[in-house]
Chains A and B, each alone.
Chain A
Amino acid sequence: MIDLELLNTLTQTFGPSGHEEAIRAALRQAVEPYADEVRVDALGNLIVHRRGTGGGKRLLLTAHMDEIGLVIAHIEANGFARFAQIGGLRPLNCVGARVRFANGAEGVIDVEYREQGANEIPMLRQLYIDFGAPHAEAVPVKVGDPGVFVGALRAQNGRLISKTMDDRISCYVLVEVLRQLKSTPHDLYIVFTVQEEYTLGGARTAAYALEPDMAIAVDVTATGDTPKALPMAVELGKGPAVKVQDSGMIAHPLVRDWLIEAARAAQVPYQLEILVGGTTDAAAMQLTRAGVPAGCLSIPCRHVHSPGEIVDAQDVENAIRLLLVALTQG
């Protein structure tokens, strides 16, 4: 069963790249009872350590806690605000979306229709945020303030719909792994990373500091199962996906096979993933220091980077089972 209360907290807590304070606090509270040590590093990564019983490897598992968003760039005299993107914010997903700021203020994004036409994909600079403010002084945010999409969590048809499933669903998976993991031979570091959506800088620096024998990013991946989607073999509900390759990395074959073996041992379905556009923290971790064997366990997710990202509840539970078996077996 999915712990909807926890997932609600994780998906709805504010945390665009570079501004992870609130989500870091929420995650810290969730994992502290199940960790031997919890610390925050210089860039803000939340590093959770579980000591192994011995004989295992030094393992690093990450899920990024930051989310895409926007940052206020300019406030016009008439009370409309312009913005720049934080991470892969697509104009197509912005028009009509509601956005929320750290102080709780909300606004609605729309487009300059006179120049744009209602049916074309706009440029980011043609978009503005309407706070319902009659003039600049009444706008409840200032230049430099970050904001994120609004999108409540809803469970429906065995699926879960929310903003920021990317990558809070993986944060959820790793919290559950920590909760349910009785013991492991491995010296286990679970890191909730910052700034994945911007530079992969959080995972890069964490992997440098921890020097793992192997690193695995848990992240969402796209699917090919929607009407006229880009061709992709991954579908919702067919199990967690073991990454073979994406545009930033080729998964280390030993890591890939280790995850596949665990899926078989746990008797959970799995899919193999080749993602054409996009990458994860694993791409940065693989290249730290003298190189780290790295791979990725993906949660299939539709409508990535939109206010309504959809995952399958069974895929989530199977990802947890797979990781528990992998970590228990050695």
Chain B
Amino acid sequence: MNTSLVEMLESIAQAYGPSGYEQGVRRVLRGLVQQQVDELRVDALGNLITLKRAARAGGLKVLVAAHMDEVGLMVMDHTADGMLRLAAIGGVDARLLPGREVMVLAQEPFPGVIGLKAIHRAREGYENAPALEHLVVDIGASSREEAQRLAPVGTALAFPARFKVLGPTVMGKAFDDRAGCTVLAELLRHGPYPHDVYGVFTVQEEVGLRGAQVAAYALNPDVAFVVEGTIADDLPKDYDESPTSRLGGGVVITVQDGSYITPPQLLDFVVGVAQELGIPYQFKQPGIGGTDAGAMHKVRAGIPSVALAVPCRYIHGPLALLHLADLEHTARLLQALVERVTPAVLLPR
């Protein structure tokens, strides 16, 4: 097991950073990578943009993006008896919320519990998961005024930090996309590469791929790699159906998702390198989800983009699970791709 990779994942995943409120995780990432890169800056939207210069001149400009934001919740109102009403930040899985502990990201973060009418008194809705508008966060406040003071409208909430190694797998929050951030941070610890590598930790992916779009515009790279933590739904099924991806099945390569189609020549390059190095890989089920590649490929005059991912179970919920071998394989493949990419593999056939 690569101890440093696990430690890095822990420190990155434990940091808070719902979309639009990435300052906490940005601080952690900055601390992790600033000694490893030649330049580092934060842009207007909050993207953390780093540059690792090429070993020598004449290479490509390569962008590698991982989004540092996570899904979460936001205080949108207060009830007369001091409860917080909720809005979603990104595609949070509301089915998993009732009864959960949640962190209120005030100046000093403090916990609350997501409340619902007691099961003893519930007359309806017992069969179905309650919608977000039926849930509140109980922070122990006894009046609207007190709740307003402790957690004003606009305060973000996140799932509490948890991290545990369970043998070959690890359990924790926000692996989408702190797994990708870990892979990118690992890339920046090595090198230099034959190309200028812009490692970008993007903001606001979960609410519309916004950070990646402006970062790609600013940097105008020759090629963009996106590193993700993606859906692994390899649970027992009623009939013969492929999961989106499988835990322990290797690096997840996107052929096509809801936001873009991988250029065939770039897909062949990625698969070819994986095969040559004996790195296990799998194709993500086509047509599902979206990543920063969906925004970046159509920036300016067009940027060839491809997404790799670490398969993670239960993303967009309080706790996810990933297999460390998948994390290591993704880090290894990304490094090989950045070393081997050439102008020729980017040319449409």
- CB-CB < 8 A to B256: which residues of A? 18, 71, 84, 86, 144
Does any Cβ of A come within 8 Å of B269's Cβ?
Answer: no
- Contact of A144 (CB < 8 Å), options: B259, B286, B349: B286
| Residues of chain A with a CB closer than 8 A to B242's CB | 73-74, 82, 143
* Binary contact track A76-90/B, C-beta < 8 Å → 1, others 0: 111000101110000
Residues of B near A42 (CB, < 8 A) are 301-304, 346, 348
Scoring B241, B242, B301 by chain A CB atoms within 10 A of each residue's CB, the highest score goes to: B301
Q: Are B240 and A43 in touch, CB under 8 angstroms?
A: no
CA distance A19 to B348 in the complex (A): 10
- Does the CB pair A195–B348 fall under 8 Å? no
B-facing residues in A10-30 (Cβ within 8 Å) = 17-21, 24
A201 & B287 in contact (Cβ 8 Å cutoff): no
* Cα distance, A43 to B303, chains bound together (Å): 7
**Least Cβ distance of B307 to chain A in Å?**
14
Decide if B348 touches A40 in the complex (CB within 8 Å): yes
With both beta carbons as reference points, the residue of chain A lying nearest to B262 in the complex is identified as: A18
Tell me how many residue pairs across A and B have CB atoms closer than 8 Å: 94
| Contact (A21, B286) CB under 8 Å given A42-B301, A199-B298 | no
- Residues of chain A within 8 A of B304, CB atoms compared: 42-43
Contact, CB under 8 Å: A74 / B285: yes
Interface membership of B163, Cβ < 8 A: no
Docked complex Cα distance between A43 and B302 (Å): 6
B306 CB to nearest A CB, Å? 12
C-alpha gap A143/B283 in the complex (Å): 8
Among the stretches A173-181, A203-211, A294-302, the one at the interface with B is A203-211
Question: Of all chain B residues, which has the CB nearest A75?
Answer: B242
Q: Does A44 contact B (CB under 8 A)?
A: yes
B301/A208 in contact, CB under 8 A: yes
Collect the chain B residues with CB atoms within 8 Å of residue A18's CB.
256, 261-264
Interchain CB contact (< 8 A) of A84 among B240, B287, B298, B300? B287
B182 CB → nearest A CB, Å = 27
Chain A residue nearest to B264 in the complex (CB): A19
Cβ contacts A36-48/B at 8 Å (1 or 0 each):
0000111111000
A313 to B255, CA, bound (A): 38
Contacts of B267 in A (CB 8 A): 144
Q: Determine the distance from Cα of A21 to Cα of B263 in the docked complex, in whole angstroms.
A: 10
Closest Cβ–Cβ distance, residue A287 to chain B (whole Å) = 12
The DSSP consensus for interface residues of chain B is loop
A201-B260 Cα distance, complex, nearest whole Å: 9
Give the shortest distance, in Å, between B266 (CB) and chain A (any CB).
Answer: 11
Whether A24 and B348, one on each chain, are in contact in the complex, defined by CB atoms closer than 8 angstroms, is yes
Residues from chain B with a CB closer than 8 A to the CB of A144 are: 255-256, 267, 283, 286
Q: In the complex, which residues 111-132 of chain B have their Cβ closer than 8 Å to any Cβ of chain A?
A: none
| Docked pose: A45 CA to B301 CA in angstroms | 10
* Minimum distance in angstroms from A165 CB to a CB of chain B: 22
- Chain B residue nearest in CB terms to A201: B298
**Are B241 and A74 within 8 A (Cβ)?**
yes
What is the CB-to-nearest-CB distance from B347 to chain A, in angstroms, rounded to a whole number?
A: 8
Q: Which residue of A lies closest to B271 (CB)?
A: A144
A198 at the interface (CB under 8 A from B): yes
Name, among B263, B302, B347, the residue most crowded by chain A CB atoms within 10 Å (CB to CB): B302
Beta-carbon contacts of B285-321 to A below 8 Å, as 1s and 0s?
1111000001001111111100000000000000000
Task: Report the Cα distance A74→B239, complex, angstroms.
Answer: 12
The reply to whether B286 and A71 form a contact with Cβ atoms under 8 Å apart is: yes
Least CB distance from B163 to A in Å reads 34
Query: Is the Cβ of A82 less than 8 Å from the Cβ of B241?
Result: yes
In the bound complex, do residue B255 and residue A71 qualify as a contact, i.e. CB atoms below 8 Å apart? yes
A74 to B303, CA, bound (A): 29
- Between A and B, 25 residue pairs with Cβ closer than 8 Å are A40-B348, A41-B301, A41-B348, A42-B348, A43-B263, A43-B297, A44-B263, A44-B348, A73-B242, A73-B287, A82-B242, A84-B287, A86-B261, A143-B242, A144-B256, A144-B267, A195-B261, A199-B259, A201-B260, A205-B298, A205-B302, A206-B301, A206-B302, A208-B301, A209-B302
Q: Which 8 A-B pairs have the closest CB atoms?
A: A18-B261, A84-B287, A205-B302, A44-B348, A43-B302, A209-B301, A201-B298, A74-B242
